[in-house]
Structure 1
Amino acid sequence: MGKSTKKSWVKMITAMVLVPVLLTGMVGCSGSKGENSGSVASGDFNQEGLPIVKKPVTLKVLTVRWGSMGDTFTQNQWLKDLEKNTNVKIEWQVMSSNDWAEQKSIMLASGTLPEVILGDQSFSDSDIVNNLSYFRPLDDYIDKYMPNLKAAMQETPEMKQISTFPDGKIYSLPARLPSRPITAQQPVINKAWLDKLGLKAPDTIDDLYNVLKAFKEQDPNGNGKKDEIPYSEVGLSMDFLNPFGITDLNATSMMIKDGKPVYFPTSEEYKAGLEWVHKLYSEGLLDKELFTQDGTMASAKHQNPDAPIVGFSNQWTPDAVFGKWSDQYETIPPIAGPDGKRYSTGDPSGLSYRRNELLITKFCKNPEVAARWADQFYTNEASIQNFWGAIGTVIKKNDDGTYSLMDPPAGTSADAWYWEQSLRDFGPKYASPSFEQNIKLSPKTGDGLKLQLDKLGNEYVATPFPNVMYTSEEFQELPTLTTDIDTYVNTMRAQFITKGGINEGWDNYIKKLNDMGLEKLLKIRTDAYNRYTSVK
Structure 2
Amino acid sequence: MKKEVKAKGKKLVSMLLVFVLAFALVGCGKEKPADNAGKNNAGTKENAAESPDSGSADSNFNQTGMPIAKEPVTLKVLTTRWGNMGDSFAKNEFLTDLEAKSNVKIEWQVKSLNDWNEQKGIMLASGELPDIIFGFQTFNDSDIMNNLDLFLPLNELISKYMPNYSKALEEMPDLKKLTTFPDGNMYSMGKNLPLRPTACNQPIINKKWLDNLGLQVPTTLDELYNVLKAFKDKDANGNGDPNDEIPISGAKGLSMDLLNSFGITDINGYKVMVNSDNSLTYYPASEAYKEGIKWLNKLYSEGIIDKEAFTQDDSMLSAKRQDPDVARVGFEYAWTPDSNFGKWSSEYEVIAPIKGYDGKQYTGGDPNGVSSIMRNEVLITKYCQNPEVAARWVDEFYTGEASIQNFWGGIGTVIAKHDDGTYTLNDPPAGTSADAWYWDSSLRDFGPKYVSKEFEKKIILSSNSGDGLKVTLSKIAEGTITTPYPNVMFTNEENEERPTITTDIDKYVESTRAHWITEGGIDKGWDEYVKQLNTMGLEELMKIYQEAYDRYSKQ
- For the aligned pair, the TM-score class normalised by the smaller chain equals over 0.9
Q: 1:218 aligns with which of 216, 226, 234?
A: 234
Residue number in structure 2 paired with 1:44: 60
Are positions 1:346 and 2:359 aligned together?
Answer: no
What's the secondary structure of 2:100's corresponding residue? Answer: helix
Cα distance change on mapping 1:345 and 1:19 into 2, 3 Å: farther
Aligned to 1:387: 407
Task: Give the distance between the partners of 1:113 and 1:20, measured in 2 at CA.
Answer: 20
Within 2, Cα distance between the matches of 1:233 and 1:129?
37
Deviations 1:452-502, CA, capped at 9 Å, x for gaps = 101111321100000111111111111110110011111111111111111
Q: Please, which of 212, 218, 221 is the counterpart of residue 205 of structure 1?
A: 221
Aligned match for 1:488, one of 480, 489, 508: 508
What's the offset of the Cα at 1:127? 1.0
Alignment partner, residue 99 of structure 1: 115
- Correspondence for 1:248: 266
Cα distance in 2, alignment partners of residues 314 and 19 from structure 1: 56
In the other structure, the counterpart of 1:29 is 42
Alignment partner, residue 471 of structure 2? 451
Aligned twin of 1:463: 483
**SS of structure 1 residue aligned to 2:379:** strand
Distance 2:23 2:187 in 1: 25
One-letter amino acid of the structure 1 residue matched with residue 175 of structure 2: M
Instruction: Flag the 1:27–1:198 CA change in 2: closer, same or farther, 3 A.
Output: farther
Q: Which moved more, 1:213-222 or 1:252-261?
A: 252-261
Q: How many Å separate the matches in 2 of 1:164 and 1:55? A: 34
**1:400 maps to 2:420:** yes
Q: Give 5+ residue unaligned stretches, structure 1.
A: 1-11, 31-37
Aligned partner of 2:211 among 174, 195, 198: 195
Q: How does 1:139-178 map to 2 (within 5 A)?
A: 139-178=155-194
Distance 2:284 2:544 in 1: 17
The residue that corresponds to 1:238 in the other structure is: 256
Shift of 1:28: 3.6
Residue 43 of structure 1: how far off its partner (Å) = 2.0
The 2-side partners of 1:525 and 1:483 are apart by 15
Alignment of 1:275-286 (within 5 A): 275-286=294-305
Provide, for residues 39-59 of structure 1, a one-character-per-residue CA deviation record: whole Å limited to 9, x for no partner.
Answer: 786222122222112111111
The separation in 2 between residues aligned to 1:19 and 1:95, in whole angstroms, is: 26
Counterpart residue number, 2:391: 371
Which residue does the alignment assign to 1:411? 431
The equivalent position to 2:246 in structure 1, one of 218, 229, 249, is 229
Match of 2:196 among 133, 157, 180: 180
Q: How does 1:494-509 map to 2 (within 5 A)?
A: 494-509=514-529
Give how far 1:27 is off. 3.2
Give the alignment's Cα RMSD to 1 decimal: 2.2
TM-score normalised per structure 2: 0.90
Name the CA distance, whole Å, in 2 between partners of 1:434 and 1:459: 22
Q: 1:14 to 1:155 in 2, by over 3 A?
A: same
Q: Is the contact made by 1:40 and 1:366 (CA closer than 8 Å) also made in structure 2?
A: no
Q: Which one of the candidate residues 124, 137, 147 is aligned to 1:121?
A: 137
| Cα distance in 2, alignment partners of residues 157 and 13 from structure 1 | 42
AA partner of residue 480 (structure 1): T
Match among 308, 312, 318 for residue 293 of structure 1: 312
Contact 2:264/2:283 (<8 A) preserved: yes
Q: Give how far 1:530 is off.
A: 1.1
Deviations 1:257-278 (A, max 9, x none): 1232211111111111111111
2:5 aligns with none
Q: Does structure 2 retain, via aligned residues, the 8 Å contact 1:348–1:458?
A: no
Structure 1 residue 196: Cα displacement: 0.4
Which deviates more from structure 2 when the two are superposed, residues 423-432 or residues 281-290?
Answer: 281-290
Are 2:18 and 2:126, in contact at CA under 8 Å, matched by a contact in 1?
A: no
Q: For the structure 1 residues 61 and 288, does the alpha-carbon distance in structure 2 shift closer, same or farther, using more than 3 Å as the test?
A: same
Q: What does the per-residue CA deviation read over 1:93-143, in whole Å, with 9 as the maximum and x for residues that have no partner?
A: 111222222211110111111111111121111111211111111111111
Judging changes above 3 Å, is the alpha-carbon distance between structure 1 residues 509 and 44 closer, same or farther for their aligned structure 2 residues?
same
Whether 1:478 and 2:498 are equivalent positions in the alignment is yes
Indicate how the Cα distance of structure 1 residues 41 and 93 shifts in structure 2: closer, same or farther if over 3 A, else same: farther
Instruction: Say which SS state the counterpart of residue 114 (structure 2) adopts.
Output: helix
| Alignment CA distance shift 1:18-1:170 (3 Å) | farther
Structure 1 segment 501-520 matched on structure 2, within 5 A? 501-520=521-540
Q: Deviations over 1:53-74 (max 9, x none)?
A: 2111111101111111111111
Q: Per the alignment, do residues 152 and 294 of structure 1 end up closer, same or farther by CA in structure 2, a change over 3 Å counting?
A: same
- Aligned pair count reads 516
Structure 1 residue aligned with 2:322: 303
TM-score (norm 1): 0.93
Q: Is 1:260 aligned to residue 279 of structure 2?
A: yes
1:214-269 Cα offsets, whole Å, 9 max, x none, are 00001111223301110012212111100010000101100111232211111111
Kindly indicate whether residue 96 of structure 2 is the aligned counterpart of residue 80 of structure 1. yes
Contact kept? 1:19, 1:106, Cα under 8 Å: no
Offset at residue 317 of structure 1 (A): 0.7
| More displaced stretch, 322-331 vs 289-298 | 289-298
Amino acid at match of 2:316: M
Residue pair 2:42, 2:383 contacting (<8 A) in 1 also: no
- Superposition pairs of residues 51-70 of structure 1, within 5 angstroms: 51-70=67-86
Matching residue's letter, 2:183: D
Maintained 8 Å contact 2:55/2:387: no
DSSP-derived class of the 2:77 partner: strand
